[in-house]
Structure 1
């Protein structure tokens, strides 16, 4: 039985606690949260023991799930890693790049499993791509949300865009060449809407837009590559793949011919891969537990988390420079 402890019992922490209680082969030993109010409501809802001594909880488990505020990720993770515990850290990995770099080093030294909670990697619509060969040359991502005061202590880059940054870095296997960005604060002290353009060494360009002051919600990524378009709707859990094929390829149920010029004809083939009805948070936690028990690699490594953080900080820097130039 894998023994797990949770650090943080806020909104997301409670969701993690609920999921851990239902995962087979796992014993949720307890949770730690300095807030008596959060702790009381958690105990009332889930009847899970509260530890007021952090080191006692760390000592009692095999793995720790950190769902605390980002500013505390580094200190909490460091204590766990120095005790040799496996770690799940909710995104982003750390508060700044120096802390993130140190955690990458500590994970390697501790030789433990460490997974970062970039949950969109487990979105059923993204998983529906399966083994499809994805080689995008242009990516368009829109992540729009209605205003919610929770999360406005950070820029929309770390609140929302970081999800798409991780997805893009996962899909484009090439170093980042150039970044440009702009953003404005509207209802909070930090940027509430932002746009970033990421250019890669292989020629791929990703255009990311995130807003937390929209009237409607949207979480879509569109991929364009040679002879194919792939649309992923993370909100509606839908995936579509549209390909150009030669006319001598047998037609399918959703194929139709078009003329592409000079009398040449092609077939437009529309595929809608089956999207499973799974809980993304439950799946990422189950896979993390399985990686520990079966000694397998995690899907979202500490390095993945660091790279997403790195690009996010570069975007923030470019936004600041852009704003300074236009405020002169």
Structure 2
């Protein structure tokens, strides 16, 4: 039985708590949250509330950190020094120095450390497992309505970091150049941003994120040789349009005339298995501990996503500086 301690039972923390509560081979030993309102909102679970972070860490085999980002490093450091396994929400720390220190501590410790990049487990993205992904151009739009919750960090670290992580996992190439622009509209940090990432293998990714939109959108489009792939993370839909091959028998096809003759297009809508992404990532974390398996999103993954995010923030800050040459 894995003893889990939960740090933070706000909006997302309550969701995590409900998933842990329904999971086999898991016991929630308690939670730590300085907010009385948050604590009251989970009273129905009858789970002990700890007054001390240290006491909760000591009582647990593993901890789940869904506290504000500014608290991540301190809690992680304390847990690592006590030999506890850690699941921490993205971004894994508030600063790059904290992230680099954390990676070193994790490497030195015999623990499992997983970062909560939940879109890796979105059913629409999982449907592409087994398909060859070698995009040369990626277009991403992640739009959300304004919500004061989460504005303690920029839209880059709040929303775009999901897509940065997905893009890095797909492209598997080093970055050649980043250009970015962003504007703070409703908060003190950028609320909308557009970013262009150029990779050394020739792939270009164009990412747009906004938390001041009138509608929600979470779409990614991949363009690669002989294929277009559309992923709708919000509506859980995936579409592949490609040149037909002998393996594509049974798919809907369409003949088109081109300058080089007639070509046949095949349209594939992979099966979407209705899974709970948060439940899946937490179950995989549990299994990595109980069965000594690698975690699906490790500290290095979390660091790499943060590195790109902070490069983007630096580019935006430079572009907004009055001293920047025009």
TM-score category, normalised to shorter length: over 0.9
CA distance in 2, matches of 1:152, 1:60: 32
Contact 2:248–2:266 (CA under 8 A) maintained in structure 1: no
Mapping of residues 1-328 of structure 1, within 5 Å = 1-42=1-42, 44-245=43-244, 251-262=249-260, 264-324=261-321
CA distance in 2, matches of 1:130, 1:296: 20
How many pairs does the alignment contain? 325
Contact 1:228–1:242 (CA under 8 A) maintained in structure 2: yes
1:269 is paired with a residue of what secondary structure?
strand
Structure 2 residues not aligned, in runs of 5+: none
1:39 is paired with a residue of what secondary structure?
helix
Q: 1:14: how far off?
A: 1.0
Q: 1:203: how far off?
A: 0.6
CA distance in 2, matches of 1:114, 1:165: 20
- RMSD across aligned C-alpha pairs, in angstroms? 1.5
Q: 1:91: how far off?
A: 0.4
Q: 1:249: how far off?
A: 7.2
CA distance in 2, matches of 1:30, 1:274: 38
CA distance in 1, matches of 2:189, 2:232: 27
CA distance in 1, matches of 2:274, 2:136: 30
Contact 2:251–2:268 (CA under 8 A) maintained in structure 1: no
1:240 is paired with a residue of what secondary structure?
strand
Structure 1 residues not aligned, in runs of 5+: none
Q: 1:111: how far off?
A: 1.9
Contact 2:135–2:171 (CA under 8 A) maintained in structure 1: yes
Contact 1:231–1:240 (CA under 8 A) maintained in structure 2: yes
Q: Using structure 1 for the length normalisation, give the TM-score.
A: 0.96
The runs of at least 4 consecutive aligned structure 1 residues that moved more than 4 Å come to: 248-251, 325-328
1:102 is paired with a residue of what secondary structure?
helix
Contact 1:241–1:270 (CA under 8 A) maintained in structure 2: yes
CA distance in 1, matches of 2:295, 2:5: 19
Contact 2:195–2:208 (CA under 8 A) maintained in structure 1: yes
CA distance in 1, matches of 2:81, 2:291: 22
Q: Which moved more, 1:144-153 or 1:134-143?
A: 144-153
Contact 1:252–1:269 (CA under 8 A) maintained in structure 2: no
CA distance in 1, matches of 2:21, 2:122: 21
CA distance in 1, matches of 2:198, 2:110: 34
Q: 1:53: how far off?
A: 2.1
User: What are the Cα deviations for residues 252-295 of structure 1, in whole angstroms up to 9, with x where unaligned?
Assistant: 34111112213x22111000001111111111000110111111
CA distance in 2, matches of 1:327, 1:177: 23
CA distance in 1, matches of 2:85, 2:18: 20
